[in-house]
Structure 1
Amino acid sequence: MNALLPANPILNTDSYKTSHWLQYPPGTDAMLSYVESRGGRFDRLLWFGLQAILKEYLAQPISRAHIEEAEEVLRLHGVPFNRSGFDYLIERHGGHWPVEIRALPEGTVAPTGVPLLTIASTDPAAFWAVSYLETLLMRVWYPTTVATQSWHARRLIQRYLDKTADSAESLPFKLHDFGARGVSSYESAALGGMAHLVNFLGTDTLAALVAARRYYDAGPACAYSIPAAEHSTITSWGPQGEVDAYRNMLERFAKPGAVVAVVSDSYDIFHAVEKLWGGELRQQVIDSGATLVVRPDSGDPATIVSQVVQRLDAAFGSTVNSKGFKLLNHVRVIQGDGVNLNSMELILGGLSARGYSTDNVAFGMGGALLQQLDRDTQRFAMKCCAVRVNGSWREVFKAPVTDPGKRSKAGLLTTYRLADGSLQWGLQGQVPAGAEEALLPVWRHGELLLEQNFAQIRQRAAA
């Protein structure tokens, strides 16, 4: 995933994990753990991103060089190192982790509180590998949380399209990813941007396209963008040249059938809409045959978007659709500042209250989409639920008296799908009649068992 440094698989964990192989009861030879969202901002989540993490990190076999580096680093770091255990992984398993991972198909919309994946040891001599991999596997919280927020945004927009538009045909392009510059790394942009593309087709995060092609066989064109201005390309013309900057955008990009977006609040958004776009350049916009997308980029989003739409209506006119809502002629609006689910609801509600269709507006979301979330947004956790000691399976769980919400699940867990399509969790071998196992084998001993492509994942999420 274009990591800054080639990852040593042994060091892709937390320091305290390196001593855990010494801490389990004598006679332990098997372990099962699970990953779940224990709740959070949303009651349903969109599961995504595991395959990318497996391909990038778990597929890399441990080498002798990795062991030598890890031994030196960890000795100086002050923690134990399981040298014999890692030597064994090379000698017995070719450097691959002896684990099996079962997981929900990616793109599944699941309620919080059900296991999304389980990881089980497959070699009694290396049962400790399950816990050692927690740090790496837990990072699936990030693409899943981004995909979840994006999915809920899609549902919100669709609700307003259903109310105010003739169709939902425009839905895939209603939320554009502006987040690449607002995240902590290229890897975050790739994982988070790709997660957003499960739900939408618009992005300016090129890393997401690369990642979707590499990890999910998404093909060369899984998302799209358009020519768009930024403040520097407008303000470089100076205040007196603002209209010339806009005219240049039209001359360069406004062709019949094209869409071009122009940020228009560098000085005075209302002057730009009324006197420039709706005045001096009005006929050129109409004659171009393109759709001009005006972008306000400051002020209170709910207030400004409604005011801009109304002023554009006064300049360019509108038609009334079959549901009685107005659709602007020749122009649209995109809001890319201060966008989150709350502001989107206010903007869409305000437009519909004024008689305007949701088809008039699109959104760009940056930091709120890819960065303003963390592992606790959906309270992700990976917990051990069972170990085998001296040949007998033992339930493992935590139940802190100070926080019942952190109680973990116990036993040989699985997730199953009932006949009505709902997901529930239970114990292996005790799946109710008419239900089926929902966790599918996806990884074993360094091999991907279930290849999922982007088209399949999108279809599953949309359903």
Structure 2
Amino acid sequence: MQNQSSGFTDIASILANPILNTDSYKASHYLQYPPEASAMFSYIESRGGRYDRTLFFGLQMLIKEYLCRPVTPAMIEQARAFFTAHGEPFNEAGWRYIVEHHGGYLPVRIRAVPEGSVVPVHNVLVTVECDDPQVFWLASYLETMLLRVWYPITVATQSWHLRKTIRGYLLRSSDDLAQLPFKLHDFGARGVSSAESAAIGGAAHLVSFMGSDTVLGVVAANHYYHEAMAAFSVPAAEHSTITSWGRERETDAYRNMLAQFGKPGAIVSVVSDSYDLFAALRVWGTELKQAVLDSGGMLVIRPDSGDPRTIVLHTMQALEASFGSAVNGKGRRVLNNVRVIQGDGVNPDSIEAILAAMDEAGFATDNIVFGMGGALLQQINRDTQRFAMKCSAIRLGDVWHDVLKDPVTDAAKRSMKGRLTLLVNRRTGEYRTAALPVTWDERMVEGDWDEALVTVFESGQLLVEETLAGIRRRAHAHEA
């Protein structure tokens, strides 16, 4: 049903309207700049936070979804009706100019570091510039939408650092590094705020890992980054599929899992704490042991309650007593025919604690896979890495002027000034932010410096198409 006061027909049309994909007060800003303003330049950075480096990812998704379609007269009418009723002025003339003179495509230039780049904080990651005097304010108007890139960057950054942690334990305790991409599985779909969050955050996790139960994240990675299949999963039990058999038939529920999915070379994951984990481990190691061995598959036990560090060790010790283990080349023990997946209480701290406890007990990292839910996709925010987008230069008439924010009450919020770029040293890989234009002398200091930012979008056109395969190679190129 149409809302007569706003002109809205459905939520999908609202979400697809870039004029409405902003903060309310942005609608009034075109009246607030100096009258002689003719161009504007803004940038995005991480001003520090939990991690000292960020993995850049996700801008291509945002651009494809929101900036590659033209603004239409219908969108303008929709936005005019909304802002008028909402109490904000509306720059109808400016938006109609975009339709009439630019075919509806926003005349902005976006430059960014290549996706998959790992960049120290306090550096420019994205710049946005509009030099059309009629609509120069677009460079700031897009802040609300573009700054949401903080979310995939932060998810990708956390997963990248967790990969480093897990890789360190694999190097110390395992003979097989090939399993690394499957060591941290995405369990986050039900714990996020929206389907879009599942898609964007789920895709970001897949820069560093290839295991996921977040279907929308895998679909997004496939679609936006040209991947045939970005991640994989295995048959797994949940509590309903076990408890529906009743407590007295719990063993039958486990036996059914083996019968349905326990094939040679297959992996089958079975949650085993619906009633009594310790009793279930005894059943697996006695009554069902031969069925596990005969299946030829790998049984993965999921303890889903209790203190993660303690319960993982207890589960491994019980399984080792039943199924045995073998000592690998690093002198650590690898369970025979069984593994453990920990999906409860998993976060960066508990992963480190569990791996350290396993190592101290002589267990190889081979024995465990982690499933991470809310802590992976939801327990982060824009302040985790303190993301901001700020105007740093404005052209008044024909002359560019530096712009900066420098609050006396919080020096950490001081912004950078000038038209900016990011340089990378081709010899050392070091990054540094510099003001444009970068002189030849500056480039030659301590080796040759190249511009790390590339123009990825201009006036409605996506100019660079990244693939997930290429992003993964870039993100992990320096693993040692």
TM tier, shorter chain?
Answer: over 0.9
Deviation for aligned residue 1:412: 1.2
User: What amino acid is the match of 1:451?
Assistant: E
Matching residue of 1:217: 226
Instruction: Say if 1:146 and 1:370, in contact at 8 Å, map to a contact too.
Output: yes
Matching residue of 1:460: 474
Matching residue of 2:4: none
Higher mean Cα deviation, 63-72 or 428-437? 428-437
> Over residues 172-230 of structure 1, what are the superposed CA-to-partner deviations in whole Å (9 max), with x where a residue is unaligned?
000000000110111000000000011101000110121112211111x2210000000
Separation of aligned partners in 2, 1:424 and 1:84:
40
User: What amino acid is the match of 2:463?
Assistant: L
Matching residue of 1:441: 455
Separation of aligned partners in 1, 2:393 and 2:176:
50
Deviation for aligned residue 1:432: 2.1
Matching residue of 1:307: 314
Match runs of 1:282-293 below 5 Å = 282-293=289-300
Match runs of 1:192-271 below 5 Å = 192-219=201-228, 221-271=229-279
Matching residue of 1:173: 182
Separation of aligned partners in 2, 1:367 and 1:395:
41
Matching of residue 294 in structure 1 with residue 298 in structure 2: no
User: What amino acid is the match of 1:152?
Assistant: H
Give 2:158's match in structure 1, choosing from 142, 149, 157: 149
Instruction: Say if 2:118 and 2:475, in contact at 8 Å, map to a contact too.
Output: yes
Secondary structure of 1:452's counterpart equals coil
Separation of aligned partners in 2, 1:113 and 1:329:
48
Separation of aligned partners in 2, 1:271 and 1:390:
78
Separation of aligned partners in 1, 2:451 and 2:17:
35
Report the CA distance shift for 1:306/1:423 in structure 2 as closer, same or farther (over 3 A): same
Separation of aligned partners in 1, 2:388 and 2:54:
14
Matching residue of 1:133: 142
Separation of aligned partners in 2, 1:323 and 1:397:
54
Instruction: Say if 2:358 and 2:365, in contact at 8 Å, map to a contact too.
Output: yes
User: What amino acid is the match of 2:297?
Assistant: A
User: What amino acid is the match of 2:279?
Assistant: H
Matching of residue 273 in structure 1 with residue 281 in structure 2: yes
Matching of residue 392 in structure 1 with residue 399 in structure 2: yes
Matching residue of 1:118: 127
Match runs of 1:371-382 below 5 Å = 371-382=378-389
User: What amino acid is the match of 2:210?
Assistant: L
Instruction: Say if 1:400 and 1:406, in contact at 8 Å, map to a contact too.
Output: yes
Match runs of 1:322-337 below 5 Å = 322-337=329-344
Deviation for aligned residue 1:4: 5.8
Deviation for aligned residue 1:289: 0.6
Deviation for aligned residue 1:26: 1.8
Deviation for aligned residue 1:167: 2.3
Separation of aligned partners in 2, 1:334 and 1:210:
24
Matching of residue 432 in structure 1 with residue 443 in structure 2: yes
> Over residues 383-405 of structure 1, what are the superposed CA-to-partner deviations in whole Å (9 max), with x where a residue is unaligned?
00000112111110000011000
Matching residue of 1:422: 430
> Over residues 120-147 of structure 1, what are the superposed CA-to-partner deviations in whole Å (9 max), with x where a residue is unaligned?
1131221111111000100100001000
Deviation for aligned residue 1:239: 0.9
Secondary structure of 1:351's counterpart equals helix
> Over residues 73-108 of structure 1, what are the superposed CA-to-partner deviations in whole Å (9 max), with x where a residue is unaligned?
101111110011001000110111110000000011
Instruction: Say if 1:9 and 1:60, in contact at 8 Å, map to a contact too.
Output: no
Separation of aligned partners in 2, 1:68 and 1:335:
52
Separation of aligned partners in 2, 1:222 and 1:188:
17
Separation of aligned partners in 2, 1:265 and 1:122:
62
TM-score norm. by structure 2 comes to: 0.95
Say what the alpha-carbon RMSD is for the aligned residues: 0.9
User: What amino acid is the match of 1:445?
Assistant: S
Report the CA distance shift for 1:375/1:236 in structure 2 as closer, same or farther (over 3 A): same
Identity of aligned residues (%): 58
Separation of aligned partners in 1, 2:332 and 2:369:
16
Matching of residue 316 in structure 1 with residue 327 in structure 2: no
Matching residue of 1:77: 86
Matching residue of 2:111: 102
User: What amino acid is the match of 1:123?
Assistant: D
Separation of aligned partners in 2, 1:217 and 1:164:
35
Matching residue of 1:162: 171
Deviation for aligned residue 1:165: 0.3
Instruction: Say if 2:38 and 2:131, in contact at 8 Å, map to a contact too.
Output: no
Unaligned runs of 5+ in 2: 1-9
TM-score norm. by structure 1 comes to: 0.98
Matching of residue 406 in structure 1 with residue 413 in structure 2: yes
Unaligned runs of 5+ in 1: none
Separation of aligned partners in 2, 1:19 and 1:206:
40
Match runs of 1:347-386 below 5 Å = 347-386=354-393
Matching residue of 1:187: 196
Q: Which runs of 4+ in 1 moved over 3 A?
A: none
Instruction: Say if 1:107 and 1:457, in contact at 8 Å, map to a contact too.
Output: yes
> Over residues 131-174 of structure 1, what are the superposed CA-to-partner deviations in whole Å (9 max), with x where a residue is unaligned?
11000100100001000111111000000000000121110000
